[in-house]
Structure 1
Amino acid sequence: MERGVAKVLGGDPKGNNFLYTNGKTVVIRNIDNPSIADIYTEHPLQVTVAKYAPSGFYIASGDVSGKIRIWDTTQKEHLLKYEYQPIAGKVRDIAWTEDSKRMAVVGEGREKYGAVFLWDSGSSVGEVGGHAKSINSVDLKPSRPYRLVSGGDDSIVAFSEGPPFKFKLTNKDHSRFVNCVRFSPDGSRFATAGADGVIILFDGKTGEKVCVLGGEKAHSGGVYAVSWSPDSSQLISASGDKTVKLWDASSGAVVTTFTMGNDVMDQQLGCLWQKDHLISVSLSGNINYLDRNNPDKPLRIVKGHSKSIHCVTTHRTDGRATIYSASHDGHINILSCACPKLQWLKLGKGHTNQVNKMVVDESDQLVSCGMDDTVRFTSLQTKQYSASDVVKLDSQPKCVSIAPGGITLVVCIDLVVLLKDKKKVFTLENMDYEPETGAVHPGGTTAVVGGSDGKVRLYSVQGSSLKDEGRTLDATGRITSMAFSNDGAYLAVTDEKKVLRIFTVADDYAIKDDFYGHHAKIVSVAWCPDNEHLATSGMDMMVYIWTISDSNIRIKIPDAHRLHHVTSLAWIDANTLVTSSYDACVKQWTIQY
């Protein structure tokens, strides 16, 4: 989400799904059960808009470079059908004719701001004329005779007839940017919404002005989106004044006002009327299901990450598993696997910057370290950040590891800090190596720290201090991640030379085996609860599941997150793996050995 920029939501013509874009991803969600979702991640650049074809078989999505990809919705692979470059700049909106044969694409451009073409050949069927600046929105009349309407940064609404589409007339009643234009489903009228807070209705066939909703102004802030009811009698509008309004199209009067909050993040930048569902999108990224019977409280709010996810961990209490994920903006989200709706709960903003690592300790506290140079201890009972349970560090922490007895090992850029019961008790500094990552043995007696020189140093945990054992273990390159098995029998070490090395703790840390398979640096390792398997992820976008007893037995998950590497791994149980990535998605995998 971007302040002051409308968010276009697309609706499935069958009424089952809706779709939107986030980063390089197109997200398709089931409208009745939003926990059921699918993603399309084939755009190499940021995607700005996606729309279903009226047939329901294809989706067209456009990105910041002006590229349009038309892809299949019926197959899991979402095979690409066609790819075009109709404009040379960011795509702002897409529209289809009702026969799914013609498309209009508008946005920013150099030579032109819009194009209308046949979907299967890309050949032009007219032009989007009448504008001198970028076009923000476009729509095509859903019945013959076809009409095309567009609105842009020049405050103009342009009306064209076709096909082939030719510019007919303009309307200049808006005093500021026109953010959204939409035809009613029956094609009799179209609505235009502007940054001036005005919504105007026009005749769908002639382009003549019919009325202004709500008198002079519909909203006290800019209007970013409008969406019609399926029967064309009503429409909803989303505004920067933090409200969504439901309008009667024939009288031009407001029926219901949905108040979404007082914070700047409650500005409403998009909306969609799909079957019986009224949906709006806040600047915060929250998707709100509006309740006509209680306009002050949404029926449901779908929350999630809108930024890249850097780390993930899992925890089981009373047999129920919970996934914790943390993103680049410092948000930590909680996803209960027991709840069929997979409701996201937001802890608020405790960390002010990227969270680098999270673990859950024996006291049911989420221990997290971030780029804001803090380690936080958050109770999973209250799910509230505590101002007192924060440890400020003198250097940026990279990794945090825990052991019984309230022991926490924090590896920073040039320090290693030992915490006990949420207090700093010992600091290693002025070391002759650069620490990268660390781990504490489940028994709490030994701490290991991996360095950029490819060596693992062993320290004994003695009360409130770390004693250098004077011993090192060798990896093949700069160490990227380390983890003891849950039973403490093995230590797994990964490095930038693509090697996973397993040491046997009982045999004085003798090398048990080396595992090869990744084509690029390994970034994360996680032990399976059965202690017989472990997973690694690398910059090659691959995830491997390894078998300790036989290095030749492995399961490979290629392209686990398309176009992005897997940043973090965690196990829910012996057959369920969770992965996170820069695509702002958390994925759950069922592993069958």
Structure 2
Amino acid sequence: MATLLPPKGKKQKREEQNPTPFEIPEKFPLVNVQFQASDGSHELPSLLVPGNSSARQLDILLNQLLGSPEDPVPYTFALKHDDDTVEIPDNLYTTVFHSGLMKTEDNLTLLYTPQAVFRVRAITRCAASMNGHDGTIISAQFSPSSSSRLVTGSGDCTARLWDCDTQTPISTLKGHHNWVSCISWAPDASVIATGSMDNTIRLWEPKKGASLGDALRRHTKPIMALCWQPLHLSPDSGPYLLASGSKDNTIRVWNTKLRTLVYTLSGHTAPITCVKWGGQNWIYSSSYDKTIRIWDAKDGKCLHILKGHAARVNHLSLSTEHVLRSGAYDHTDFKPKNFREERDKAKERYDICVKQSGERLVSASDDLQLMLWDPYKTTKPVAKMHGHQKVVNYASFSPDGRHIATASFDSSVRLWDAKTGKFLATLRGHVASVYQCAWSTDSRLLVSSSQDTTLKVWDIRTKKLKFDLPGHLDQVFAVDWSPDGQRVASGGADKAVRIWTH
């Protein structure tokens, strides 16, 4: 029978466990534990372990049992209890026995889930404050391939392309005649699209910010959302299809190579708020009309209408969104030799992500609730998630598909289980409306932006505030964490773009 490693020293023990108001017994009865993979793919025989084992010790033991002690994989653990799961953040004693959840004579089933093998360091300081915009910054997005390129959109009718390495502007993207309301990088980082309140979409090359022709003009009202076709669905000529949602109640799909309109998706009866292009070639759109529509991107046919919200739907997020956005690029600093290799890598990453968590959808609404959907199985919500006291403005799946973070005007961020919709924790610290949040690539950290002029970094394991980041002089509307994990960018009403690093 496998055995646990010797107990850690006091100093190391303090680092691994949160301080508790009671002493964890040094000696505790052995308990019967069975490890199961959370996706049901693998199950290990039962064995006896000390009832005060820490999550770190369980991690070491599991790697020994799975035959990978030399190249260990980090795992998280959850107790399977009455058709529910309870996360074990620190140790078995605190979560299971001291709380009275189970007794030492009970058989414990522990579900294990692999974490990212790399670790993103928490951002702790402002590395640069970059000025240049003359209006409020309402959108910011890093390139999918590198944290050295950033685009921001502003109320001064321009977008700006920044070099984050030298902390200088590369180009001012001029051409719009009203607020730049949304921006989107192509998943291979070859094109930048900007949408504006002037009803047009413009395309730019990302090296020097040169304009790629005239504006795309068919919408009759402001552009509210942009989304590119996923990289792994693209033909050999590269990603060129772009979906745009507008206040004219339509979604339009464009061929950006030929600069032509492919088709218009009509059906919504009120302005569009968000558009997402899924990895199975479905397009998801949300609207003021309280519905979410699912379209077949092949022919533009409306496949499903998801109903349930009692007020306008503000935002959508897909569980595969991180890999769809970053395409072929990950922590390995992958450099493709050609587009086909890049597309194959993107397909491989997407398939792994779908195998782990499927492709689910979450919607955030003015009705103070969220809904979790599994569109490939049912048009009914998997879960209705209540708890926020005011409008839910933003929702985002973690890159590993295990958690959902939501931002609300009730000054809080909430965490939910992405499979069941179960409430996990309220992250309190902001003193005014929270506008957006962004995950680190390893899913261990979360950053949120607020009307209270601060950013806050949260530790997902402890569910607590890790760092408070003041610096902005006014409310912060936009925040993004670079796909390589190196930087966070933020912008808001003080017109300054701030870059944060560790």
Indicate the residue corresponding to 1:120 in structure 2.
Answer: 298
Return closer, same or farther for 1:157/1:165 CA change in 2, 3 Å cut-off: same
Deviation of 1:221 after TM superposition, in Å, equals 1.3
Indicate the residue corresponding to 2:420 in structure 1.
Answer: 206
Return closer, same or farther for 1:29/1:3 CA change in 2, 3 Å cut-off: closer
- Which of 239, 256, 260 is equivalent to 1:79? 260
Indicate the residue corresponding to 2:195 in structure 1.
Answer: 21
| Aligned length, in residue pairs | 280
Distance (Å, rounded) in 1 between the aligned partners of 2:501 and 2:373 = 36
Contact 2:137 2:491 in 1 (8 A): no
Return closer, same or farther for 1:165/1:278 CA change in 2, 3 Å cut-off: farther
Deviations along 1:502-529, one digit per CA (max 9) or x if unpaired, are: xxxxxxxxxxxxxxxxxxxxxxxxxxxx
Distance (Å, rounded) in 1 between the aligned partners of 2:205 and 2:471 = 23
Distance (Å, rounded) in 2 between the aligned partners of 1:202 and 1:59 = 31
Deviations along 1:97-130, one digit per CA (max 9) or x if unpaired, are: 223x011111212xx5321121222333333332
- SS of 1:126's equivalent? strand
After TM superposition, the score normalised by the length of structure 1 is 0.43
For the pair 1:283 / 2:489, whether they are aligned, the reply is no
- Which of 59, 73, 80 is equivalent to 2:242? 59
* 124-133 or 182-191, larger mean C-alpha shift: 124-133
Distance (Å, rounded) in 2 between the aligned partners of 1:2 and 1:131 = 31
Contact 1:107 1:135 in 2 (8 A): yes
Q: Structure 2 regions of 5+ residues with no counterpart?
A: 1-134, 141-180, 232-238, 321-353
Looking at secondary structure, tell me which structure has more strand per residue: 1
Indicate the residue corresponding to 1:70 in structure 2.
Answer: 253
- SS of 1:127's equivalent? strand
Distance (Å, rounded) in 2 between the aligned partners of 1:200 and 1:223 = 11
Indicate the residue corresponding to 2:476 in structure 1.
Answer: 268
Indicate the residue corresponding to 1:544 in structure 2.
Answer: none
Return closer, same or farther for 1:172/1:95 CA change in 2, 3 Å cut-off: same
For the pair 1:185 / 2:399, whether they are aligned, the reply is yes
For the pair 1:238 / 2:426, whether they are aligned, the reply is no
Return closer, same or farther for 1:15/1:237 CA change in 2, 3 Å cut-off: farther
- Code of the residue aligned with 2:365 in structure 1: it is G
Q: Structure 1 regions of 5+ residues with no counterpart?
A: 294-593
Deviation of 1:155 after TM superposition, in Å, equals 0.6
| Structure-to-structure mapping, 1:273-312, within 5 angstroms | 273-275=481-483, 276-283=486-493, 286=495, 288-293=497-502
Deviation of 1:167 after TM superposition, in Å, equals 1.7
* 7-16 or 168-177, larger mean C-alpha shift: 7-16
| Structure-to-structure mapping, 1:314-393, within 5 angstroms | none
Deviation of 1:287 after TM superposition, in Å, equals 6.5
Distance (Å, rounded) in 2 between the aligned partners of 1:14 and 1:245 = 30
Return closer, same or farther for 1:146/1:287 CA change in 2, 3 Å cut-off: farther
Distance (Å, rounded) in 1 between the aligned partners of 2:192 and 2:441 = 15
Distance (Å, rounded) in 1 between the aligned partners of 2:431 and 2:302 = 40
For the pair 1:194 / 2:408, whether they are aligned, the reply is yes
- Code of the residue aligned with 1:172 in structure 2: it is H
Return closer, same or farther for 1:148/1:50 CA change in 2, 3 Å cut-off: same
- Code of the residue aligned with 2:399 in structure 1: it is P
Which has the bigger relative contact order, CA under 8 A and spacing at least 6? 2
Calculate percent identity across the aligned residue pairs.
24
Return closer, same or farther for 1:51/1:273 CA change in 2, 3 Å cut-off: farther
Indicate the residue corresponding to 1:491 in structure 2.
Answer: none
Deviation of 1:223 after TM superposition, in Å, equals 1.1
Indicate the residue corresponding to 1:89 in structure 2.
Answer: 270
- Code of the residue aligned with 1:106 in structure 2: it is S
Return closer, same or farther for 1:158/1:58 CA change in 2, 3 Å cut-off: same
- Code of the residue aligned with 1:171 in structure 2: it is M
Indicate the residue corresponding to 1:47 in structure 2.
Answer: 223
Looking at secondary structure, tell me which structure has more helix per residue: 2
Deviations along 1:14-51, one digit per CA (max 9) or x if unpaired, are: 356665533223355677x6745657432332111112
* 219-228 or 141-150, larger mean C-alpha shift: 141-150
For the pair 1:102 / 2:259, whether they are aligned, the reply is no
Contact 2:370 2:385 in 1 (8 A): yes
Contact 2:408 2:435 in 1 (8 A): yes
Contact 2:315 2:365 in 1 (8 A): yes
For the pair 1:226 / 2:437, whether they are aligned, the reply is yes
Indicate the residue corresponding to 1:169 in structure 2.
Answer: 383
Q: Rg bigger for which structure?
A: 1
Indicate the residue corresponding to 1:159 in structure 2.
Answer: 372
Return closer, same or farther for 1:246/1:60 CA change in 2, 3 Å cut-off: farther
